[in-house]
A = this chain, B = another copy of it.
């Protein structure tokens, strides 16, 4: 599917300076994807795409990912209704990372725990004790994950 859609990587010059899309997928066939809310510039999540998920995202305008925990292609929103509509997709210098700017349906949330962003905690450091802790930066959940996801297994793995 992606053979015609992506260029082969032939030189550093091509990868960094040309207008050819030549993404680098890792040993597991995946590329990391930063997902940003177009309006607020909040980072919503960091996901992964295989070639099919990236192609589908480009072609359909809806964010698709590869779920590493469920090991399947994943159109974000199919369970929750919170689809991510893509406004822009960027790629980095060596083309091994993607940035998608999106508008999210419904409540605008993208985190399976119920928060708007997956990045709902910041790291605090106590220099004197040389310890760390987390502080919640989102005050409350935007939805009840039990209601939205029901019996779907939690994707978080230890």
Asked whether A82 is an interface residue with its Cβ less than 8 Å from the other chain, the reply is no
- The interface size of chain A toward B, counting residues with CB under 8 Å, comes to 58
Q: Which residues of B contact A12 (CB under 8 A)?
A: 154, 156, 158
Q: Tell me the bound Cα distance from A3 to B89 in angstroms.
A: 38
Q: Does A140 touch B at the CB level, under 8 Å?
A: no
**28 A-B contact pairs sorted by A residue (CB < 8 Å):** A4-B130, A5-B130, A10-B158, A11-B158, A12-B158, A15-B156, A18-B134, A19-B133, A19-B135, A21-B123, A32-B32, A34-B43, A41-B41, A43-B99, A46-B92, A46-B97, A58-B132, A88-B122, A89-B123, A90-B120, A90-B122, A90-B123, A91-B119, A91-B134, A93-B115, A93-B120, A94-B155, A94-B156
Is A16's CB within 8 Å of the partner chain B? yes
Residue of B nearest to A61 (CB): B125
Q: Does A131 contact B (CB under 8 A)?
A: yes
| Chain B residues whose CB sits within 8 angstroms of the CB of A134 once the complex forms | 18-21, 91
CA–CA, A118 to B58, complex, Å? 20
Interface string of A38-50 (1 = CB under 8 A from B): 0001010110000
* Residues from chain B with Cβ under 8 Å of A45 in the complex: 92
Cβ-defined contact, B119 with A90, below 8 A: yes
In order of increasing CB-CB distance, the 10 nearest A-B pairs are A41-B41, A46-B97, A94-B156, A92-B118, A90-B119, A19-B134, A89-B123, A21-B132, A93-B118, A90-B122
Q: List, in ascending order, chain B residues with CB within 8 A of A152's CB.
A: none
